[in-house]
Structures are given as C-alpha cells and as structure tokens.
Amino acid sequence: MDKLQKRYGLLTAICMVVGIVIGSGVFFKAQTILQKTGGNMPLGILAWIIGGVIMLTCLLAFSVMAQKFEKVNGIVDYAEACVGSKYAYYVGWFLTIIYYPCLTSVLSWLSARYTLVFITSIAPDFPLLGLGAAAGAETVLGPECMALAMFYMCCAYAVNALSPKLAGKLQVSTTIIKLIPLFLMAVVGIIVGLANGTLANNFNTLADVGTTSTNPLFASVCATAFAYEGWIIATSINAELKDAKKNLPRALVIGAIIIIATYIFYYVGVAGGATNQELIDSGATVAFINVFGNVLGNILNLFIAISCIGTMNGLMLGCVRGLYSIAVRGRGPAPHVFSQIDKETNMPHNSAIVGLLLCGFWGLYFFLANLAGTWSGPFVFDSSELPIITIYMLYLPIFIMWIKKATDENAMRRYVTPILAICGSLFMIYASIMGHGIACFWYLIVFAAVMAVGFAFSKEKPIN
C-alpha cells in the first residue's frame, strides 16, 4: 500500500478547520434562521449557540481520540478503533457516497451564486438569462450560475487532485480573506446598529414571513448544522499532518473557538446593518451596502464569494480521498485500484475522479429537487442539511464504544466529554425530525439504499 506524505503543519490544519466550516453557511443560513424564527433575534442567537455547543462537544470527543489513533482518515480511523473495521467501512462509505459530495455540490452552487451577486451589483446591466420572474432569480437558478458552479467544482477537483500543497496554501489564504468581511461586519455593524437604533429595534421587533416553522428553534438549529459542519472533514488529512496526534486536537479546538465567536458576533453585526425584514427579503448583502456603502459593500460581496470557494475547496479535499480511505482497508469496489497513489503528485487520482463524479450527481439532484423545483413529491429532501444529521447518528456508536474501551483515560476524557457529545448528537437528530418532518423519511430511504449497495462491497479483499 502506498502512503501519503506528511505535508501539513498546525497553521494549515487550523485554517482547514476554520476555512472548511466558515464560509457559505454563515451567509446562507443566517437569512434562513431569520425566516424560520420570524425575525426573532434572541431565538436565532440561541440557535447559533446551541449549534456551536453541539459542534464543540463532538469536536472535543474526537480530539481526545485524535491523540490516540492515526491512520488515513480521522473519523474512519476512530470508528475502526472504537467499533470495528466493518463499521468503519460503512462510515467511510457514507462519507464518500453521500456526505462529502452533497455538501461540495451545494458549496459549488453557493460560490457561483455569490460571484454573480458581486458581478450584478457592480454591473447591473450585465446580461443574465435567469429562470424565473422573481428578482435575482438569474443569480440563483440561471444557466450562468449552474455553469459557473460546475466550473468551480472542476477547479477544486483539479487543485486538490493535482497539487495538494497548492490546495493547502489556497485554504490558508481564503481563510484569511473570508474572515475580513465577517470581522468588519461584526465590529462595524454592531457599532452602527447601536448608534442608529437598528440593532435595538431588531431585537424587539418581529418580521412578516407569512407562516413560520411550527418548531422554530429546532428548525433553526438544523440550519446552523450546515453552517457549523465541515470540521470533521479536516480529520481526513490525519495521515498528511505533521505530528498529527498533537496538532490535530489543537487545530480542532482552536478552530472551533474561532468559529463560534465569529458566527455569533457576525449574526448580531448584520442585524445592526438592516432591519429584520430587509435581511429576510434580501439577505446579508443589503446590510453590507447599508453599512459600508455601494463600493466597499460590493467589494465585501466579492470576499464572500471567495470565502465560499475556500469552503468548497476544503470539502473537495474530503471528496478526493473518500474511496481511498476505504480501499486502503481492503474494502469497497476494486480496492487495489482506488488505493493507488500517483507517484508524481502523491495523490489518489482514481479515488479523486469518482469523488468528482459523485459531486456532479448530487449537484444535479440539488438543482432539480431544491432549487428549480422541477422534481417534487417523494424523495425530495434538503441535501444541504439532512446528510449532516445522519453523521450525528453515526457518531453515537463511536462515542458509546469509546466509553466502554477507554479504560486508561481519566473520568473527564472517558465519560464526561463523550456523554456530552452523545447528548448533543441526540438533540441534533431530534431537531432534524421536528424541523424537516416527512423529508427525513424520504432521505432515510435513500440513505438505506446507499448503505445496501455498500454492503455488496463490504467483504475485505487483499490490495497487494
């Protein structure tokens, strides 16, 4: 079996955690949370806090495991060590076939969407075809948006598959760039909002959104799941991280603290730049323009687009390594093929190609079922949120078996941390059921079908 080189340091790992998580979610889901809560700012902040605490508890549990286990893909390694090789295979299969490509396809669309928002904001007469009469529909559904999304997806694949060192540098640079608009809006937005009274008004006034969710808090926590998710993908570079047993836990904890603080302050800052109704109707762009003016506000929109691209790049990192992490264990389809490492790039190209194809498949589903609405009825679900909820289900046996097996750990590391992580995971699962209703049923059927296909390739085979 070929091995991946140790090429990433602590700074790159922290930037991967922060860069993969912070990106489209905070811009995309902040508007969603306002809609689901009817503009109830305190309830929205509570949702961000709950989502952050759940992420942090799970992250702390895995950071303890990261100090003991190191192989080729963090979460799969932990599943193998705690539960067994068969369970680890199914975790890896789910990540490869559903989780990574679903989120990457959504991120490629969001990257294209915010790029077009920037272009049309500086050039209002820029010709776009669009697919509907609604204002701005062309930047969401138009052929230009979808073509640009595919282009971004292919670029992310090329960077990760052909030049992993360049992918690491891109992650660092885009992480720094994406923090600029977030910090500026957090600081300036709060100051402006306090000075003109907009912030106080938003905390005391609800918005008109028609019908709100029957369970606004649970639905909002589900929305934060997309914004907070992605940190686990950073564990996929476990085998490529220098001194991984020390640096990966540090990167996870430091990255989580940065993320939670950034999200909460940004959410409050945006509320200082526009009314709740404006934010629900037009998104965060109106707040940037109100606070910073047309020119600087539009430049910050460009930074948002770049941040989305950085998040997509980090997610593609998991996609290209997906089948490889299964194949090196002698499982999955043709493990002798997908465990191969290219001698020139030191990357699993066969695994990467399948990862790109899966991104394209789930991108098509997301467009038909979630964006264009041309696919309705059964088997329609939010592919940006429900796969995230499934991962919390798969965490549970890992946490439980850790408690059983980690006899050499102290009480905090063996019992307290994983129990808190179990409670957080169960809350997220319950919130998903309450927030998405029947869509959970259709998604679980698809999930079961994918896992059944995985069963056909679950027998261990020699790879040499």
Residues 397-413 as b or e (16 or more Cβ within 10 Å = b): ebbebbbeebeebeeeb
Give mean pLDDT, residues 231-251.
69
The answer to whether 176 and 16 have CB atoms below 8 angstroms apart is no
Looking at this protein, which amino acid is placed at residue 124?
Answer: P
- Distance, CA of 459 to CA of 31 (rounded, Å): 45
The model's pTM: 0.79
Least confident of 8-22, 41-55, 370-384: 8-22
pLDDT for 60 equals 82
Residue bearing tokens 């085979």: 461
3-state secondary structure of 8: strand
Render pLDDT for 425-449 as a digit per residue (tens, 0 to 9): 998 888 888 878 889 999 999 999 9
Give the integer Cα–Cα distance in Å for 189 and 271.
7
Q: For 65-69, what is the mean pLDDT?
A: 75
Instruction: Note the Cα 95 to chain centre separation in Å.
Output: 12
Q: Three-state DSSP class for 272?
A: coil
3-state secondary structure at position 373: coil
Lowest mean pLDDT among 4-8, 66-70, 119-123, 357-361: 4-8
Please tell me the distance from the alpha carbon of residue 235 to that of residue 295, in angstroms, as a whole number: 39
The share of the chain scoring above pLDDT 70, in percent, equals 88
The span from the CA of 286 to the CA of 300, in Å, is: 11
pLDDT at res. 131? 45
Cβ–Cβ < 8 Å for 348, 339: yes
Contact yes or no for 39/206 (Cβ under 8 A)? yes
- For the chain, how far is it from start to end, CA to CA, in angstroms? 7
Burial 135-151 (b: 16+ CB within 10 A, else e): ebebbbbbebbbebbbe
pLDDT at residue number 133 = 38
pLDDT digits (tens, 9 = 90+) for 110-162: 888 888 878 877 777 777 655 443 445 555 667 888 889 999 999 888 887 77
Average pLDDT on 154-179 reads 76
